[in-house]
Chains A and B, each alone.
Chain A
Amino acid sequence: MAELLLHVDNLSKRFGGFVALDGINLSVQAGERVGLIGPNGSGKSTLVNCMCGTLRNETGTVRFDGRIVDGLAANQRTHRGMARSFQLPRPFHTLSVAENLRIPLLFTAHSRSGRHLTREETESRCHELAGLVGLAAKANKLPRDLTQVEMRKLELARAMAADPKLLIADEAMAGLSQSEVTDIVDLLIKLNERGVTIILIEHIMRAVMSFSQRLVVLVSGKKIADGAPDQVVNTREVIGAYLGE
């Protein structure tokens, strides 16, 4: 059995009286491709925010790469090798596309590899990343010149730029065309083959099914299913949650 990269134990999060996450347990092995699905408002993004340190969870622990990361700031978790994209794209709007990609290269890829990338290396890596998601032609544009779909691609490329061990893609494909979805899925699988563990949050079932080795389902802040994708989508609870009892 491969070693555990991420282990979430009994994680809970409340917003006032509203329980967003209720005792979530989740283990992800190194090199795994995990799909995370659930209806809107089921707590998927909150779970990501708690794992990445954007939000503080009230109870439970998050263990990443053999260390407990509770209490670490988001930037420290990114340095340890966790990278995420945001569901609603949050580009740095006064920086160009290439500069957006340069930020994680300067602040994360730099310090973790123990060696500073030269100016030329950074530059070529920026353009390589922009090319990977099909934004090469717009590398010098500002985010406001991008379409919503392109912003999602930028979001994904920026998470990839941090050179992560675990990549969490939060609805990176919403609004993309069929062929683009296929492209992104292929890209993520290629990334995974290079050793990056990936958690994919997505509503497009075709993408989730073709991508995931394991599927986790959240409903109303509770994990109701966790297993092989074919079996999970056929369990009664999951069908009930999506289609109603």
Chain B
Amino acid sequence: MRAFLFYVVSILVGGLFFAFARWLGNDYLFFAGYTVLQFIVLATAWNILGGYCGYVNFGSAAFFAVGAYASVAMHKLAAGVDRYFPESVAGLAKLILPLNIPTLIILGGIMSGLVGLGTGYLTLRLRGAFFAIATLALAVVLQTLIINWDFVGGSRGAYIIRPSEVPILGSYIQYLFLVMLVLSVVALATARIIEQSRLGYGFATIRDDEIAAEACGVPTLRLKLIATTISGALMGMAGAPFPYYIGYLEPSSAFGLAYAVNSIAMPMIGGTTSWVGPLVGALLLGTLQQVATVTISSAVNLLIVGLLLVGFVIVAPKGIIGLVQDFMRERTSDKGQPTWRSRLAIFANMRPGAR
């Protein structure tokens, strides 16, 4: 029932925004909305590892870029079918290529998931700051590899010429927006399902005390690998449509600092223990950044994030969700009857124990 409600509400909200933007007839809303949705996916993905398991990932940009460059590679492959394939296969390849966006998202997810699995495997024994440093190093290594990979444009970057129109919807950016909307619902649903399952409890024990978790029979090693894989895969999925959105992709933009910083700041500001946190954080920060880009300057974006992060760490270390939770805990039930507050708390998965 609660799950059903979740899907109905999220599809309704997304559909309403889509209809509203179409009614206004302003494509900029779709451009801005896409970025916000992309950050919802990134923040949710980061939170699966960072919030649930307590492993801070500073290399979000690397996973994002792996997804994006998987798309670029497929695009280049499609553009040069005759050059890269023998004649016998070329005909078949032309049938499949160029891949559509949903397929690219799945492919990007697989590539990034594999990178996540590898990272998890290599850094299993690292905790705290050391794990964070290792993920940062991963981003640097991957960026160097991409810069030296000519096929995807190297340091010059790659131009992706996207189709100007799609059937039914018309505008391509509206199509991309819809795809990202579906992806963010998928990401949020994944986070929600994890929270309510055995996996979510396992992740929480890893965050709290790994040695005690082992003694209780929690296979911490396996769970950590699952977390890094899911988290990485979702980030890659967020990155896969990016070259088609931006039109020109270079390593410094795909590996940009903004992705790493935002993916950490958004869940931290929203709250890390529930799937609602990254959603709220991404909506708030993402929208704020888009507004600042139009009204002030795009350079001020990271400054806003930084200031807000500092502010929240001092004033509300549990994020917005933590503040709301404290407010709701005061009256979770009125004479044994559930109130709207307790219903909301249950809907948002806020267990009494959650941080």
Interface residues of A (CB under 8 A from B): 52-54, 73-76, 78-79, 83-84, 86, 90-96, 99, 102-104, 106-108, 111, 140, 142, 158-159, 161-162
Residues of B close to A90: CB separation below 8 A: 209, 211-212
Of B198-206, B234-242, B255-263, B307-315, the one touching chain A: B198-206
Q: Kindly report which residue of chain B lies nearest to residue A158, judged by CB atoms.
A: B216
The reply to whether the CB of B354 lies closer than 8 angstroms to some CB of chain A is: yes
B214 on the A face (CB < 8 A): yes
- The one of A75, A92, A95 that contacts B219, using a Cβ cutoff of 8 Å: A75
Please encode chain B, from 328 to 355, with 1 for each CB lying within 8 Å of some chain A CB and 0 for all others: 0000000000000000000000011111
Name the residue of chain A whose CB is nearest to the CB of B199. Answer: A106
Q: Supply 15 A–B pairs (Cβ within 8 Å), ascending by A.
A: A54-B211, A54-B214, A75-B219, A76-B219, A86-B212, A86-B215, A92-B208, A92-B213, A93-B209, A94-B354, A95-B201, A96-B352, A107-B198, A107-B219, A158-B216
> Which of B198, B220, B352 is close to A75, meaning CB atoms less than 8 Å apart?
B220
- Is there a chain A Cβ closer than 8 Å to B179's Cβ? no
- Is A75 touching B214 in the complex (CB atoms < 8 A)? yes
Q: Could you say which residues of chain A place their CB within 8 Å of the CB of B355? A: 94
B142 close to chain A: CB less than 8 A: no
Q: Which residues of A contact B352 (CB under 8 A)?
A: 96, 140, 142
Give the residue name and chain of the A residue nearest to B207 (CB).
A94
- Whether the Cβ atoms of A108 and B204 lie closer than 8 Å is no
| A78 and B209 within 8 A (CB) | no
List 4 A-B pairs, minimum CB-CB distance, nearest first: A108-B217, A74-B214, A78-B217, A96-B353
Contact B214 A107 (CB under 8 A): no
Which residues in window 238-254 of B have CB below 8 A to A?
Answer: none
Give bound CA distance, A102 to B209, whole Å. Answer: 15
Out of B218, B221, B273, B353, name the residue touching A107 (CB < 8 Å).
B218
User: How many chain B residues have a CB neighbour from A under 8 Å?
Assistant: 25
| Cβ contacts under 8 Å, B217 to chain A | 75, 78-79, 104, 107-108, 111, 162
Q: Mark B156-167, 1 if CB is under 8 A from A, else 0.
A: 000000000000
Query: What's the least CB distance linking B293 to chain A, in Å?
Result: 37
Inter-chain contact A103/B218, CB cutoff 8 Å: yes
On whether A108 and B216 interact (CB within 8 A), knowing A92-B205, A94-B207, A94-B353, the answer reads yes
Contact, CB under 8 Å: B214 / A103: no
Q: Which residues of B contact A (CB under 8 A)?
A: 198, 201-202, 204-205, 207-209, 211-221, 273, 351-355
For A83, A104, A111, A140, the residue with the greatest tally of chain B CB atoms inside 10 Å of its CB is A104
Interface centre among A83, A106, A108, A159 (most CB of B within 10 A): A106
Indicate which residue in A54, A102, A106, A140 contacts B215 across the interface (CB closer than 8 Å). Answer: A54
Q: Are B201 and A102 in contact (CB under 8 A)?
A: yes
Query: Contacts A75-B219, A140-B352; is A103 near B205 (CB within 8 Å)?
Result: yes
Residue in B closest to A93 when the chains form the complex, CB atoms: B208
Q: Are A106 and B208 in contact (CB under 8 A)?
A: no
- Of the residues B198, B204, B216, contact of A94 by C-beta under 8 Å: B204
With A96-B353, A99-B351, A107-B198 given, is the CB distance from A91 to B218 under 8 Å? Answer: no
Q: Which residues of B contact A91 (CB under 8 A)?
A: 208-209, 212
Given A90-B209, A94-B355, A106-B198, A52 contacting B215 (CB threshold 8 A) = yes
CA distance A142 to B216 in the complex (A): 18
- Taken together as a complex, chains A and B put the C-alpha atoms of A107 and B204 apart, in Å, by 13
* A92 proximity list for chain B (CB < 8 A): 204-205, 208-209, 212-213
Q: B273: which A residues are within 8 A, CB to CB?
A: 94
Please indicate which of the listed interface residues B202, B212, B214 has the most CB atoms of chain A within 10 Å of its own CB.
B212
Residues A162 and B216 in contact in the complex (CB < 8 Å), given A94-B354, A99-B201, A102-B201: yes
A53–B215 CA distance with the chains assembled, in angstroms: 9
* Chain A neighbourhood of B204, CB < 8 A: 92, 94-95
Q: Establish whether residues A84 and B353, one from each chain, have CB atoms under 8 Å apart when the complex forms.
A: no
Chain A residue contacts of B214, Cβ below 8 A: 53-54, 73-75, 78
Q: A73-B221, A142-B353, A162-B217 are in contact. Are A103 and B201 (CB under 8 A)?
A: yes
Q: Is the CB of B216 within 8 A of A95?
A: no
Given contacts A92-B204, A103-B202, A162-B216, 13 further A-B contacts (CB under 8 A): A73-B214, A73-B219, A75-B218, A78-B217, A84-B215, A90-B209, A92-B205, A93-B208, A94-B207, A95-B351, A102-B201, A103-B218, A107-B219
Chain A: which residue is nearest B218 at the CB level?
A107
> CA–CA, A61 to B256, complex, Å?
52
CB of A181 to closest CB in B, whole Å: 24
| Known contacts A106-B201, A107-B198, A142-B353: A94-B208 contact under CB 8 Å | yes
A75 to B218, CA, bound (A): 6
